[in-house]
């Protein structure tokens, strides 16, 4: 009995020995999203700003879209090489690269133009290959719809490029964000008058006057500073803040539908 008491007392007053504390968990690497495309994706005249605004602050959203670029000229000018340099930075947990071209691939300018059968498809496939090789995740996005109407129906001006983008996504097993299909549907539903509110510049009077006809018309500018080709020119392609928010959210919603994991990256 005495021996048991002594043992109990010894245990009671013994200095406890704690297990070594586990090292603190390393902070999780942030997710990065890179946008690659033309002016319809830029912050200035496209949906890029509205797109990036949907994500949590810790998600790094880099808009590398550039106005006037095609699937060819983006590479030729060395812009794609800069993206590959960024992809070599492994301080991010996961990187997604969203690629959207088509608006300038049909241009008559030789530095932009691509043959849709022999060049555009291979170019898009090349982007997918390069992104995967760099250890990142490619996402193909069909072109932003143009808001041209004829007899009350939105026109399918960019359908060929959308179709090729869909084909490349399907044959390479790449996530597709079909912005063109959804944009066509929604712009048709809103009609000409509402679609004009998405534009990046003030709507000329002759465009407003043509709304009741159901057919959009070329803009006539009364101010030389807003002439066709100037930075201030109205058109049926580019977007202002409202259009950026509208199509930016649409792009994110479509991406989440195609890849539900993306939802965890969004703001509540």
167-189 tens-digit pLDDT: 999 999 999 999 999 999 999 99
Percentage of residues in the chain having pLDDT higher than 90: 83
What pTM was computed for the model?
0.87
Question: What crossing angle do the helices spanning 179-195 and 241-258 adopt, rounded to 10°?
Answer: 150
pLDDT band at 227 (very low <50, low <70, confident <90, very high): very low
pLDDT band at 25 (very low <50, low <70, confident <90, very high): low
- Whether 176 and 138 have beta carbons less than 8 Å apart is answered as no
Per-residue model confidence (pLDDT) at position 15: 43
259: burial class by Cβ within 10 Å (0-12, 13-18, 19+)? middle
Q: What is the CA radius of gyration of the chain?
A: 26
Per-residue model confidence (pLDDT) at position 222: 66
- For tokens 């043959």, name the residue: 115
- Whether 143 and 180 have beta carbons less than 8 Å apart is answered as yes
- Whether 123 and 101 have beta carbons less than 8 Å apart is answered as yes
State whether CATH 3.40.640.10 applies to domain 28-190+238-265.
no
Beta bridge partners of 99: 36, 140
Q: At residue 220, does pLDDT exceed 90?
A: no
DSSP summary character for residue 212: G
Percentage of residues in the chain having pLDDT higher than 70: 86
Per-residue model confidence (pLDDT) at position 38: 98
Per-residue model confidence (pLDDT) at position 249: 99
- Whether 48 and 245 have beta carbons less than 8 Å apart is answered as no
């Amino acid at each position: 009995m005495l021996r048991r008491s002594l043992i109990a007392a010894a245990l009671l007053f013994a200095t406890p020995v704690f297990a070594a504390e586990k090292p603190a968990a390393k902070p999780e690497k942030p997710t990065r999203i890179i946008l690659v495309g033309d002016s319809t994706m830029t912050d200035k005249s496209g949906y890029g700003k509205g797109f990036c605004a949907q994500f949590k602050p810790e998600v790094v959203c880099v808009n590398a879209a550039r106005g006037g670029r095609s699937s060819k000229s983006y590479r030729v000018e060395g812009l794609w090489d800069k993206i590959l340099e960024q992809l070599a930075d492994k301080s991010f947990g996961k990187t997604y690269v969203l690629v959207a071209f088509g608006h300038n691939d049909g241009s008559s300018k030789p530095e932009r133009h691509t043959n849709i059968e022999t060049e555009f498809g291979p170019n898009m496939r090349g982007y997918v290959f390069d992104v995967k090789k760099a250890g990142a995740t490619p996402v193909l996005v069909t072109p932003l719809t143009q808001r041209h109407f004829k007899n009350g129906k939105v026109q399918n001006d960019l359908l060929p490029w959308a179709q090729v983008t869909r084909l490349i996504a399907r044959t390479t097993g790449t996530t597709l964000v079909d912005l063109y299909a959804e944009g066509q549907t929604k712009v048709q539903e809103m009609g000409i008058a509402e679609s004009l509110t998405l534009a990046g510049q003030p709507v000329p009077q002759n465009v407003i006057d043509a709304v009741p006809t159901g057919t959009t018309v070329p803009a006539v500018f009364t101010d030389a500073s807003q002439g066709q080709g100037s930075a201030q020119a109205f058109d049926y392609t580019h977007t202002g803040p409202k259009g950026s928010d509208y199509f930016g959210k649409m792009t994110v919603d479509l991406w989440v539908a195609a890849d539900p994991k993306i939802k965890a990256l969004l703001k509540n």
